[in-house]
Amino acid sequence: MSTFTDLAEEALAHAKALDAYLLSQNKPPASFQHDNLASLPSAIAPHREGLINASQTLKQLAQGPSGILTEATWACADEISLGAIYDYQLARHVPLEERTTFAEIAQASGLDEGLVERILRHAMALRVFAEEPTGRVCHTAASRQLATDLDMNDMLGVMLRETWPVAGKTNEAIRRYRGSQEPGDAAFGLVHDPGVPMFQYLAKYPERLSRFDGAMKYFARSDAWNLKFLVEGYDWNGIDSMGSTFVDVGGGQGAVALAIAEVTKHMKFVVQDLAGNVEGGRKTLPERLKGRVDFMDHDLFQEQPVKGAQVYFLRWILHDWSDKYALKILRSLVPAMRDGSRVVLYEWLLVDGPETRWTEKQAR
């Protein structure tokens, strides 16, 4: 294990590289008020990850075992303040470039002033909002994004209202459904509707399904999930010919199809998903791509209706299902395939073994 000094010097080297990059781009130093490190070039992005990982390791060593476990067990408190910010849309009650008071936020949100003060001061420990010495509240980059970025707001809603309650029931589901591969035998059903799989449940609530798709669009913009890797990492031009078809199975509102359509000329796209999602995609499809991108209601467990496509694409689909149902999804494609058809999977691949880097934690 490295010494504190070794880790600090490693972090310092990465910090200097990031500072030099900001200076070269005539950007101000990093701050919590503005995100100056968004969309880093590929040569610089590893320095950001390196700084995060070295700093986190340094912090955990300084905390010791008791500090590590205490921080982890109290993380549930973050759900309270973030949940209130989401439920009462508190970020939208703070002017984007001005200051306000706890009393004004309370009046706008309908909450008690003392409660608003406690909620926001807890969130400030996460660098969500800031308080000036005068007692007035202003935005940080994080809270400002919550106020202006609908997809990020959807991500917060999905995590708080769909994912976190389910996480609390996961161990109970393991005890109750041990060994089951049925999609209804899961923690989601224990929270929402016993025996009903997540996507079947969400399909009954269009606003929640739309929120889920907004969250997926937000994740797709992040450095780790960015569609640029999909666009640049596969030879789409090699299959971009007249008459070729790309079928995005479970493609939501078409983010993948739109991204690949922008870098190809001839290939046509069919985006398949539940009715609510594809209807949203139809409404937001750019005029320039009409005629190349179509949307189709489709249950991915049923036989694939688009015959002879060049590509059947599944992005972050199979990891949602047990092996039994993942095989069923893949087998539903076989009758539609012809010589030369290919199935392209886009999924997380985890290292076979322990991984302690903080930037790799989310994937686990």
CA distance 24 to 166: 45
Give me the phi and psi of 329, to 5 degrees please: -60, -45
**Residue 63 · residue 71 · CB < 8 Å:** yes
User: CA of 324: how far to CAs of 71, 301, 321, 329, 338, in Å?
Assistant: 38, 11, 8, 9, 24
Q: Which letter does DSSP use for residue 92 in this model?
A: G
**13 three-class SS:** helix
**Residue 293 · residue 285 · CB < 8 Å:** yes
Closest CA to 142 of 90, 99, 100: 90
User: CA of 278: how far to CAs of 113, 273, 349, in Å?
Assistant: 42, 6, 28
- Angle between the 150-158 and 206-221 helix axes, to the nearest 10 degrees? 110
User: CA of 357: how far to CAs of 5, 49, 50, 70, in Å?
Assistant: 18, 9, 9, 20
* Strand runs labelled E in the chain: 130-131, 137-138, 245-249, 268-273, 293-297, 311-315, 342-346
User: Is 319 an active-site residue?
Assistant: yes
In degrees, to the nearest 5, what angle opens at C-alpha 225 toward C-alphas 220 and 229? Answer: 105
Token pair 């209601």: residue: 297
**100 three-class SS:** strand
CA distance 357 to 364: 11
Catalytic residue among 122, 139, 192, 319: 319
Active site residues: 319
